Amino acid sequence: MEHKQFFHHPTAVIDEGCTIGEGTKIWHFSHIMPNCTIGKGCNIGQNVVVSPQVVLGNNVKVQNNVSLYTGVICEDDVFLGPSMVFTNVINPRSAIIRKDEYKTTLVKKGASIGANATIVCGNQLGEFCLIGAGAVITKPVAAYALMVGNPAKQIGWVSEFGHRLQFNESGKAVCPESQQTYQLMNNTVKRID
């Protein structure tokens, strides 16, 4: 493993068998466990655990105190807020070993998960969705969906820049920051420009 291509704080622990991309930064007291893959330009905050076989794409931002358990896959440009939580077993018990029952959780490109949110394993979070702080995700999330609460409910749609979209009578909306145009049809949002 070549350490010159990425930065790691002296208190970080990086186990054998990891692949870590160029320009990635790994901060204080974080533990990168065996056989995980971290892409280019990622930022792994303080006190983060990346468990074996976890896959992070390029430009993934992991804030402080996040644990990414085996079964988690994050595509490019994902944001994981401070102290958010992934699970990987549906019915955990201390006295029963269920390592062969880990569920996959896929977080698609550009998705953001707010501080203290919980993602129950086995669900897919769609591209550019926004999970509000403290939300508990118990089912799959659509692309561009805005989710809040416990259990989380969809309250709207967001743009790729994270702004709430206001759709007109023909189902079109424009992001106020990027000016990108979106179409809502059959409860699905797509960018159309």
Find the CATH number of the domain harbouring 159.
2.160.10.10
Query: How far apart, in whole angstroms, are the C-alpha atoms of residue 53 and residue 38?
Result: 10
Angle at 57 between CA 52 and CA 60, to 5 degrees: 100
- In whole numbers, what is the pLDDT of the chain averaged over residues? 96
Is 170 within a domain?
no
Could you tell me the CA-to-CA distances from 25 to 4, 12, 40, 64, 152 in Å, in that order?
11, 10, 9, 13, 32
pLDDT > 60? residue 1: no
Residue tagged 């996959």 (tokens): 104
pLDDT, tens digit (0-9, with 9 covering 90-100), for 92-150: 999 999 988 999 999 999 999 999 999 999 999 999 999 999 999 999 999 999 999 99
- Counting the structural domains of the chain, the total is 1
pLDDT band of 2, cuts 50, 70, 90: very low
Contact 161, 179 (CB under 8 A): no
| 3-state per-residue secondary structure call for 29-72 | CCEECCCCEECCCCEECCCCEECCCCEECCCCEECCCCEECCCE
Is 119 within a domain?
yes
Is 2 within a domain?
no
Supply the pTM of this predicted model.
0.95
pLDDT > 90? residue 193: no
Is 174 within a domain?
no
Is 176 within a domain?
no
Contact 40, 24 (CB under 8 A): yes
Is 177 within a domain?
no
- Domain range spanning residue 15? 7-90+98-163
Is 48 within a domain?
yes
Residue tagged 């070549």 (tokens): 2
pLDDT, tens digit (0-9, with 9 covering 90-100), for 16-26: 999 999 999 99
Is 18 within a domain?
yes
Which one is predicted more confidently, 15 or 99? 15
pLDDT, tens digit (0-9, with 9 covering 90-100), for 160-181: 999 999 999 999 999 999 999 9
Query: How far apart, in whole angstroms, are the C-alpha atoms of residue 42 and residue 18?
Result: 14
pLDDT, tens digit (0-9, with 9 covering 90-100), for 56-85: 999 999 999 999 999 999 999 999 999 999
Q: Which ranges of the chain would DSSP assign to H, the alpha helix?
A: none
